[in-house]
């Protein structure tokens, strides 16, 4: 953990520093998430980063989205990583490891991984449109992107929702964006493999840039690579792949983000003169399915559903509150969620208070305050939760999420994530993190 900044900072200072972080990570058509740990373009990062560029460089904001969608596969999938040729060899798993080269349906001019990530693009586009300096000039961009995002949602509602439930499944922890939640450990309790035989040889590069206690453990990486190996062997798309595939999870935040993006796309569609009936249907169906299948009445929170074991995964994480973003919970459930956020599970106690919002509940057996997704506060999660709470008319609680986030950045700098305990607080992971900077910019423009 690191405390680079001890002087209190004004909002003007913060803005200036945030812009400097984005500028520093700019690679031309897109901005990498961090200087050395993540040297390519990542999917949901690109969406948040676009929001950071929008107020000062709208062209760059559009370019982030265009560059990402250059990696879109013909079936609609938008990859988790679009690799930069210039930075090849600097990240594991790199382009070659994924074995996507030459696969049918994969774009010829982009190097990509074979997974996807949360579909933030619809709501990012809506927020970009609000900031377009000249909407007439920007219209062709939005028209193009609308079709691309629609294709992505269609992919998620068909290939990732084979029974038409309205819930897309993820096939790898990396697809959730929250790679290292204890939730995945619970799912893996019933997945048996031999790390010696079933995991190909690999060499991590993340530990060259970040201390091991901040990053996933070796057992977690073995699982990640075990799954990638199954996927790449099947060329990612044989329909029979999913029959025996061991990791298929319907996750609440992934689906809430998709549902919220459907709503945002409806607005965009209306502006473009499109028929938005399908988007409405998806939005309503997903919100209903989130409530019917992912609500855990005992814990008063949404949880993941393991499609292989046909059971809920009872782990309390910040992702379980995110259906507020798409308007899924009714008033009773919304009150239980907001109460949870304010109880010791997320707020800590008077003796040991916590910044909002820990990624994993503070009392979860898998909680670790400084390890990747096992507990730290993430600025993108806080930013989405802030908007979710405003939707439910909770301005004071929303303001707490915003204020906690800005205070963490002011005290420690633009870190990837932060220790949630107020008595130990500090930045973790990599410094100069693009979406932390981008979302600070978005907050300060409001």
* Residue 424 to residue 75: CA distance in whole angstroms: 46
Task: Between 115 and 125, name the residue whose CB sits nearer to ligand DGY.
Answer: 115
**Nearest distance, CB of residue 127 and ligand DGY, angstroms:** 23
DSSP 312: E
Residue 99 burial by Cβ neighbours in a 10 Å radius (0-12, 13-18, 19+): middle
Nearer to ligand DGY, 206 or 222 (CB): 206
Q: How far is the CB of 249 from ligand DGY (least distance, A)?
A: 16
When asked if residue 31 is in the footprint of ligand DGY (CB under 6 A), the reply is: no
Q: How far is the CB of 174 from ligand DGY (least distance, A)?
A: 5
| Separation CA 32–CA 21 (nearest Å) | 10
Which 346-405 positions form the footprint of ligand DGY (CB under 6 A)?
none
The minimum distance between CB 7 and ligand DGY, in angstroms, equals: 32
Q: Which of residues 77-116 bind ligand DGY (CB under 6 A)?
A: 80
Nearer Cβ to ligand DGY, position 312 or 370?
A: 370
Considering only residues 53, 58, 174, 443, which one is a binding residue for ligand DGY as defined by CB under 6 A?
Answer: 174
Q: Nearest distance from residue 93's CB to ligand DGY, in Å?
A: 8
Whether residue 319 contacts residue 358, with contact meaning beta carbons closer than 8 Å, is answered with no
Residue 214 makes contact with ligand DGY by CB under 6 A: no
CB of 130 to ligand DGY, least distance (A): 29
Under DSSP, is residue 389 helix (H, G, I), strand (E, B) or coil? helix
Q: Is 362 exposed, middle or buried (0-12, 13-18, 19+ CB in 10 A)?
A: buried
Q: Are 171 and 247 in contact (CB under 8 A)?
A: yes
- Sheet with 169-170: list strands edge to edge: 169-170, 249-250, 304-306, 311-313
The string of DSSP letters for 50-66 reads: HHHHTTT-HHHHHHHHH
Identify the three-state secondary structure at position 385.
helix
The residue count for binding ligand DGY (CB under 6 A) is 4
Taking CB atoms, the residue at the shortest distance from ligand DGY is: 174
By CB under 6 A, the residues from 41 to 80 that bind ligand DGY are 80
Q: Which residue number, 58 or 414, has a Cβ lying nearer to ligand DGY?
A: 414
> Which one, 285 or 436, has the nearer CB to ligand DGY?
436
User: Toward ligand DGY, which CB reaches closer, 173 or 269?
Assistant: 173
Are 170 and 161 spatial neighbours (Cβ–Cβ below 8 Å)?
no
179 makes contact with ligand DGY (CB under 6 A): yes
Report DSSP state, residue 370.
Answer: T
Render the burial of 256-272: b for 16+ CB within 10 Å, e for the rest: bbbbbbbbbbbbbbeee
**Shortest distance (Å) from residue 27 CB to ligand DGY:** 17
Pairing of strands 417-418, 427-428: antiparallel
**Rounded to an integer, what distance in angstroms lies between the CA atom of residue 322 and that of residue 320?**
6
Closer to ligand DGY by Cβ: residue 154 or 179? 179
Catalytic residues: 179, 416
Task: Tell me the two tokens of residue 277.
Answer: 């009936």
Interface ranges with ligand DGY (CB under 6 A): 80, 174, 179, 206
């Amino acid at each position: 953990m690191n405390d680079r900044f001890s002087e209190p900072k004004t909002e003007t200072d913060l803005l200036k520093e945030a812009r400097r972080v984005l500028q520093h990570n700019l690679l031309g058509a897109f901005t990498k998430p961090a200087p050395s740990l993540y040297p390519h373009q990542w999917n949901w990062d690109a969406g948040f980063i676009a929001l950071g560029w929008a107020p000062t460089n709208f062209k760059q904001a559009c370019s982030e989205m265009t560059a990402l969608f250059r990696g879109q596969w013909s079936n609609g999938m938008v990859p988790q990583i679009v690799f930069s040729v210039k930075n090849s060899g600097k990240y594991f798993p790199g382009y070659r490891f994924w074995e996507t080269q030459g696969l049918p349906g994969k774009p010829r001019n982009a190097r990509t991984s074979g997974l996807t990530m949360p579909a933030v693009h619809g709501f990012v586009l809506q927020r970009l449109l609000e900031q377009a300096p000249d909407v007439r000039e920007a219209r062709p961009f939005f028209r193009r992107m609308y079709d691309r995002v629609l294709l992505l949602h269609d992919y998620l509602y068909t290939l990732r929702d084979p029974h038409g439930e309205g819930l897309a499944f993820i096939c790898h922890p990396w697809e959730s964006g929250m790679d290292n939640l204890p939730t995945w450990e619970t799912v893996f309790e019933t997945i048996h493999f031999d790390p010696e035989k079933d995991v190909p040889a690999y060499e991590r590069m993340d530990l060259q840039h970040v201390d091991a206690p901040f990053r996933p453990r070796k057992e977690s990486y073995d699982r990640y690579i075990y799954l990638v190996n199954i996927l790449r062997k099947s060329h990612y798309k044989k329909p029979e792949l999913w029959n025996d595939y061991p990791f298929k999870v319907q996750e609440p935040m992934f689906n809430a983000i998709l549902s919220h993006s459907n709503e945002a796309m409806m607005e965009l569609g209306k502006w473009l003169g499109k028929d938005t009936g399908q988007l409405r249907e998806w939005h309503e169906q997903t919100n209903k399915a989130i409530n019917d299948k992912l609500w855990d009445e005992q814990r008063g929170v949404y949880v993941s559903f393991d499609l292989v074991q046909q059971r809920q995964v009872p782990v309390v994480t910040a992702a379980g509150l995110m259906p507020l973003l798409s308007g899924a919970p009714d008033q009773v459930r919304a009150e239980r969620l907001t109460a949870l956020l304010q109880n010791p599970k997320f707020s800590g106690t008077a003796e040991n208070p916590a910044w909002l919002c820990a990624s994993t509940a503070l009392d979860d057996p898998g909680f670790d305050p400084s390890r990747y997704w096992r507990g730290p506060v993430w600025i993108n999660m806080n930013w989405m939760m802030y908007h979710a709470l405003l939707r439910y008319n909770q301005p004071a609680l929303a303001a707490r999420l915003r204020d906690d986030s800005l205070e963490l950045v002011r005290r420690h700098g633009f870190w990837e994530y932060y220790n949630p305990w107020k008595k130990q607080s500090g930045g973790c992971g990599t410094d100069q993190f693009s979406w932390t900077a981008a979302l600070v910019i978005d907050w300060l423009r409001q």
